[in-house]
Every structure is written in C-alpha cells, then in structure tokens.
Structure 1
C-alpha cells in the first residue's frame, strides 16, 4: 500500500469534536464517474451506505460510481432499477421509498467531478486545509500547535518538534525504554540527571551559562523558564514586532539545537565543551540563516 493510501486510511478514522474527516469532504457531482454511489458523500449529509444500510447490504454492486446507477432521459437522470433490493422488511420498504424521493431528480452538470472541503469557507480542499483542521482539534483540547520557523532549516524545526514531544533520546528517556545506560548523569554539567528539560534549560549549569550569554546578546532580560513550552512561546519576553518575535524565537530554537549537538559531540567524540564556543555557534548560525533565508539581506554582523 502506497504512502497516500496509508494517509487516507488513517484520516478516515480521525474524529474531532464529533466530526469525522470523511464528513468534511463532500463530492460535487459533475459527470459522476469519480464519485462512488454508496461510499462518498454526494447527496444528503452522509454516505448512502449509512443512510440506507438495508439496501446497501442487499446490493450486488457496492463499488459502482454514480454515473453507473443512472440513465439519461433528456435533462433528467433516472435511477436504474436493475439493482437488488430487499423489500421484505419495513426498513427495506422505508429505505426504498426514501431513495425514490431523494434521487428522482438528480442532474449531472457535465463538468468533472469535484471535491468540497466543508471546514473551509471557500470549500477549497488542500493539504494545508486538512492540517489546519487537525491543528484546530488539538488546540480545542488544550494542546498548542507547534510553530515552525520558516527561516530555520528543517533539521532545526524537526528537532524542536521532537523536543516538544519529549522524543529526543536523553539518557533518562533511553532508560524509560529499558535501554541499558552506564550513567544517567548529564554529560555537560556532570551533576544532574539528564532529561530534556535539565539539558536544555537552566537546570544544567553549562546550559544556564549559555542561555545567560544568548539573552545578553539578544538584549533581553534573562528568563529561566520552567518548561520547554514556556521557552518556545517566549513567556515573559516583551517584543514589539512580529519579526522580532520570529527572530528571538528562532535564536532560542537554534540554541537548543546547538546544545544538543554539543552534548552528542561530547558523548560520542569525547570532546571538551566550552561555553564560549557554543555561544559563538549560536550567533553564527543565527546570523547566516537569518541573512540568507529571509528578506533581510542587508543585515550586518554586529557582535
């Protein structure tokens, strides 16, 4: 099964605030060759297989498209009568009557079949629209969405995304997964237990000195946050413009990424980390990416 088939299969089971993914996607009837008669929403509010379960169970052509179910008589499309119906029960008779009422004046536009995304006011279906819907559900349930900074490389954004989910392989995280470790001590300060919060916030003495110098370079008052989320949301940081917020947030994300790189360098290469070199790397990466990945090409280095 391909990538997109797996994605669609997963989304079909997603439900946010009682609204399913499938109910958000409505078919707009054109010539009817791309819309499944029973399984897509093209008339009414639900798929016809859910509206008429008795008829669906007894039908022999469950995968027909809409066009296959109708014959044209002038401008009117007439429902074919060669499908198998169970009319021996009250439910079957009721559903057959409802089908006759609903489908007796179906008209084909002659255009290509189209899809309408109900949550979007313009009805436009796109990957961005689906992502917005999924994020909206997470926000409703109190989980804030990850804000990716476009002026940073994907590797930094991806690392911070994993950091927010507590999915980086710190020593304490590896122990929770029953992976044997010789020590749980933070490799940078060699005092506290290595968790993501300890390693990348002010709990680590080494990280605390790095953050102090980064704050001083950014000309903002040092603020030692209680959580990664507070750090990335710039809690208690007063900034004037949108681009100031994006810049400072990006610098903080780079700082987390550089600290993690320095940690790995010591663990795997036995390096001797120095605060001044870590801060220099933060400044260099920040300047280079901001200058070359934003519209501010004229920015100059001023340490």
Structure 2
C-alpha cells in the first residue's frame, strides 16, 4: 500500500501551486529570531530573501560546521553583537576578506535574546496568520480586477446574489459561453425562440419571453420602460437585472 504524504509535505507542496499566482509562501511566513537555536545560519533566508550561503559562497566553503545555527555564530554568552566563527583555515585577503566584511556589515544590527524563535506572517500589521488574510491575497492575485465593487443585497437569497454577480461578470453557462470554453454543443441558438444566439443579452433582454416578462414588470412597477442593454447598464438596469438596490 502506497504511503500517504505527510501533512507538512502537503503544506510545502502548496507553494508550487501558489507560485503560478505569484505568491511565495516563503516570503509570507518567516522566522523571527529569538535565541537563534532553531534557525540555520547559512541555509535559511532569515536576513532577507536570500540565504547567507548564496550571498557569501566563499565563506560558506570555509565553514567547518555547515549546519550551524544562528545561536552558534551570534552568541549572547560572548557579549552583545558578538560573532563566533569556525573556519577550516584562517581568512585570507582579497575576496574572502571582502565577503567577511560584507557579512559583518549585514549582521551589525543582529542581536539574539533569550526568547524562542518564532514564526511570523507579514500579511497584516499584527504579524499573525489568519485564513481570511491569505484568502484575500490569493483572490487579489488570481481573480480578474473589476472596477465595479460587488454589492450584496442581504434581503435576497444568497443564490440570487451569486447569480447576479456571475451575470455581471458574464460567467453564466449560456450556450455562447459554453462554446467559447470548448464544450461541444449541438447549437448555440436560443432553445426558447431559436431566433438568435443564446448570450446573456439575448437570454435576459432580447428573447421574446424575457421581453414579455420585462414589460409586465415595468407595468407592475409603474415604469415607462425597462433596460435594453446589459453591457451599458443604467442605475435602473442595475436595480432590475443585478438586484443592486441602493
């Protein structure tokens, strides 16, 4: 029997799916250094978007203990902002000395403390994770921008609100939309009147059955006319077609 993936492996694999939406979980969740005892000094990007081993490859090649932690190199026992190194041989001049000076400059404001290392989420100012914050980020990345703000009418059932929202985005499964998505149907013509293609405009306005209903609604509400276009909606058509009652 094939073993199931562990929960952590499933979570890590989510990053490859989210990368298609330009979302990098490694940039959202990061470690906040406390005592530095659980964070890899060289192999984790705890000081920015890159690891120290990629920024300073010559120094990493000289490191005697490549799995060292932040606490091994930035240790409170040796005083504030002290750095403890373990090189295979002494640092030479040239590139090695230059990289060491750059590394010390990068570490100048780093100081460990006695608190444990923690995870922080940068989706909000409180640095705490919430499903809604991540959902908003995902929606903003994958959903098409729409200049019109979605307004929900709490008086109407939720299915009517969703239907109106999909109508405004032209996402209803009309025959024209199904054909545009490669679904094989025998005809794109309106099954009610067979006089035109079944688009949103025809289905909700132009078809003789829809026009008859609109005339009755207009008479019932005491209106002189009813909306004739879905693509260029007046305030009246927004109220009638999309149920966006102010």
Which TM bucket (shorter chain)? 0.5 to 0.7
- Written as runs of structure 1 = structure 2, the 5 A alignment for 1:199-238 is 199=203, 201-211=204-214, 222-227=226-231, 235-237=234-236
Instruction: Judging by fraction of residues, say which structure has more helix.
Output: 1
Equivalent of residue 16 in structure 2, options 9, 32, 36: 9
Output the TM-score relative to the length of structure 2: 0.59
- Using CA pairs under 8 Å that are at least 6 residues apart, name the structure with larger relative contact order, 1 or 2: 2
Could you tell me how far 1:77 is from its partner in structure 2? 6.6
- Does the CA contact (< 8 Å) of 2:53 and 2:60 recur in 1? no
Q: 1:169 to 1:64 in 2, by over 3 A?
A: farther
Could you tell me how far 1:110 is from its partner in structure 2? 0.3
- Does the CA contact (< 8 Å) of 2:167 and 2:200 recur in 1? yes
Larger radius of gyration: 2
**Distance (Å, rounded) in 2 between the aligned partners of 1:101 and 1:132:** 37
- Written as runs of structure 1 = structure 2, the 5 A alignment for 1:159-174 is 163=167, 166-174=170-178
Secondary structure of the structure 2 residue equivalent to 1:115: strand
5+ residue gaps, structure 1: 239-244, 255-303
The one-character-per-residue Cα deviations of 1:2-23 (angstroms, maximum 9, x if unpaired) are: 664454334446549xxx7755
1:147 equivalent in alignment to 2:150:
yes
The one-character-per-residue Cα deviations of 1:186-232 (angstroms, maximum 9, x if unpaired) are: 22343221124432x323333344455567778887434433xx66x
- Does the CA contact (< 8 Å) of 1:186 and 1:192 recur in 2? yes
**Distance (Å, rounded) in 2 between the aligned partners of 1:189 and 1:126:** 51
Could you tell me how far 1:103 is from its partner in structure 2? 2.5
Greater mean deviation of Cα atoms: 95-104 or 156-165: 156-165
**Distance (Å, rounded) in 2 between the aligned partners of 1:30 and 1:142:** 40
Could you tell me how far 1:142 is from its partner in structure 2? 5.4
**RMSD value over aligned CA atoms?**
5.0
1:182 equivalent in alignment to 2:172:
no
- Does the CA contact (< 8 Å) of 1:30 and 1:112 recur in 2? yes
Equivalent residue, structure 2, for 1:110: 115
- Does the CA contact (< 8 Å) of 2:189 and 2:198 recur in 1? yes
5+ residue gaps, structure 2: none
Say how many residue pairs are matched. Answer: 232
Equivalent residue, structure 2, for 1:281: none
**Distance (Å, rounded) in 2 between the aligned partners of 1:153 and 1:92:** 69
Q: 1:135 to 1:46 in 2, by over 3 A?
A: same
**Distance (Å, rounded) in 2 between the aligned partners of 1:7 and 1:253:** 38
- Does the CA contact (< 8 Å) of 1:171 and 1:194 recur in 2? yes
